[in-house]
Amino acid sequence: VVEKSSFYETAAWGKLDQPSFINIALAVQTILKPLEVLHNALSIETELGRIREDKWGARYIDIDIIFFGNDIVHIPNQLSIPHPEMQNRKFVLEPIAEIEPHLLHPVLKKTVSNLLFELQDNLEVKKI
């Protein structure tokens, strides 16, 4: 782990009748390939008790790969990097902007700061 953001609390997203979410962004340096990182992340989720039942349901942990350097990865039904909805989610952009504000989205060609500035998402994201 090279950098980590503060913790952020947000109201539930996707399915609203559930507890608030806690979000954090990590910048990690690795020699692993994207699919290897995904498999490791899924293993960590399973070890911590994650059960994949409801797509938008409450979960103890959810690890997403938002960026992988400047790489663009698309493996149908497995992995898309950059995360295809990140630019629409304040709870994703806010923590990343704290640690990597000038990180350039390799598809949209905009920095994380610019994406956050242009965002129309009104969801409250509170640093805790």
Token code pair at residue 56: 């938008």
User: φ and ψ at 22, to 5 degrees?
Assistant: -115, 125
What positions carry a catalytic annotation?
A: 50, 59, 62, 64
Residue with tokens 């990590």: 26
Distances (CA, A) of 25 to 1, 28, 54, 81, 87: 10, 10, 23, 15, 15
- Report the 10 Å Cβ neighbour count for 7: 12
Q: Indicate the helix (H) or strand (E) that contains 9.
A: strand 8-10
